[in-house]
Amino acid sequence: MIVDLHCHSTASDGTLDPAAVVARAAAQGVDLLALTDHDTTAGLEAAVEAARAHGIGFIPGIEISALWSGATVHIVGLGIDPLDARLRAGLERLAEERARRALAMVERLEKLGLSGSEAAIPGDPRAAGRSHFARWLVDQGHVKDWRAAFRRYLNRGRPVYVPGRWAGLDEAVAWIRAAGGVAVLAHPARYRMTASKLERLARGFREAGGAALEVVSSSHTPDDRRRMAALAARLGLLASAGSDFHTPGGFVELGRDLALPEGCRPLWSQWPAARSKGATTPETCFA
Ligand code: AMP
Ligand code: MN
Ligand code: MN
Ligand code: MN
């Protein structure tokens, strides 16, 4: 069974609309998919409908931007009820923050002599992120590629980086749980923390009510996967897997190379219907 529990659509910083993400996942042989856009559930309705049409299992998800000990970390929520009032109130705050931050980034670019970057902001400015500015920088020929955009301008410590006033780690987990979901610490090996700091983060996440580590991610090397599997086992956390797909034509593909290492306890083995193929609604997947 191919399970992909982390990807993006045009509702945040992906380039395919939600239905197209689902169609592509189905074409790639994905049996169970979660759409996890940054700080928004706007794509879920269209994705659920597309998953029904394609006959693949679907889990409504989100990837919440959070702060822990001064670092930005990402918390994936799976099986959430997008209408939950507490989740909605939290996401409202983050959406306002995204809009504010996008304008601040336009000002920074202006000061560097790069004008016109309002055009980078998507139709809904509350969905804006650094990826939108990266694409604009590439399209305008200011940098040769996406990586250079982050390296030169957008990474922390670079001139266009505006820190986000995101949710606290505990808040992000609480919103997800209030909405009936389970919380997953996204791509833990990507935070470039020492092993002991990462273990503190994972313990704090568990104490906040977190359920799983994203052991397998496209941004994890085989060695990262082994280390994250060992950390999850040591802390009694479940293991999740997701491509973090954003756009076609890159190195990352939906559903590809997502097998968990030996010895992991898969998060989805707890989802009765997910064990058999053909679960087509969030309700049946996540019963
Ligand atoms: P934001 O949440 O607006 O700060 O944007 C974070 C997003 O930017 C991530 O989800 C990635 O899609 C992208 N991103 C962040 N850092 C990099 C990087 N070094 N290279 C490429 N993409 C990145
Ligand atoms: Mn992203
Ligand atoms: Mn992320
Ligand atoms: Mn992501």
pLDDT tens-place string over residues 7-32: 999 999 999 999 999 999 999 999 99
**What pLDDT was estimated at residue 104?**
98
d(CA 14, ligand 2 centre) in Å: 7
**What pLDDT was estimated at residue 31?**
96
Nearest listed ligand to the Cα of residue 162 = 1
Q: Would the CB of 187 count as within 6 Å of ligand 1?
A: no
Mean of all residue pLDDT scores within the chain: 95
- Reply yes or no on whether the pLDDT at 56 is more than 90: yes
**What pLDDT was estimated at residue 287?**
37
- Reply yes or no on whether the pLDDT at 113 is more than 60: yes
pTM score above 0.85:
yes
Mean pLDDT of 232-251: 97
User: How many angstroms separate the CA atoms of 261 and 277, rounded?
Assistant: 21
Residues 3-88+181-286, CATH architecture = Alpha-Beta Barrel (3.20)
Mean pLDDT of 149-173: 98
Among 67, 75, 76, 131, name the best residue to mutate to test ligand 1's pocket (greatest count of ligand atoms within 8 A of Cβ): 131
Closest Cα to atom 6, ligand 1: which residue? 130
d(CA 276, ligand 2 centre) in Å: 30
- Reply yes or no on whether the pLDDT at 213 is more than 70: yes
Q: Which carries the bigger pLDDT value, residue 92 or residue 276? A: 92
Nearest listed ligand to the Cα of residue 74 = 3
Portion of the chain with pLDDT greater than 70, in percent: 94
Q: Would the CB of 12 count as within 6 Å of ligand 1?
A: no
- Reply yes or no on whether the pLDDT at 92 is more than 90: yes
Residue 109 gets the label, from left (phi > 0), alpha (psi -120 to 50) or beta, of: alpha
d(CA 247, ligand 2 centre) in Å: 10
- Reply yes or no on whether the pLDDT at 279 is more than 80: no
Q: Would the CB of 246 count as within 6 Å of ligand 1?
A: yes
Q: Would the CB of 131 count as within 6 Å of ligand 1?
A: yes
Nearest listed ligand to the Cα of residue 34 = 4
Q: Would the CB of 155 count as within 6 Å of ligand 1?
A: yes
User: How many angstroms separate the CA atoms of 240 and 229, rounded?
Assistant: 10
Among 8, 9, 10, 13, name the best residue to mutate to test ligand 1's pocket (greatest count of ligand atoms within 8 A of Cβ): 13
- Reply yes or no on whether the pLDDT at 277 is more than 60: no
Angle between helices 169-178 and 85-111 (to 10 degrees): 140
**What pLDDT was estimated at residue 274?**
64
Mean pLDDT of 132-156: 97
Nearest listed ligand to the Cα of residue 250 = 1
**What pLDDT was estimated at residue 270?**
78
Mean pLDDT of 91-99: 98
**What pLDDT was estimated at residue 230?**
98
d(CA 103, ligand 1 centre) in Å: 17
- Asked whether 65 and 13 are in contact (CB, 8 A), the reply is no
User: How many angstroms separate the CA atoms of 33 and 5, rounded?
Assistant: 5
- Asked whether 24 and 10 are in contact (CB, 8 A), the reply is no
Closest Cα to atom 9, ligand 1: which residue? 131
Mean pLDDT of 214-230: 98
- Reply yes or no on whether the pLDDT at 282 is more than 90: no
d(CA 29, ligand 2 centre) in Å: 23
Among 23-27, 256-260, 271-275, name the one with the lowest average pLDDT: 271-275
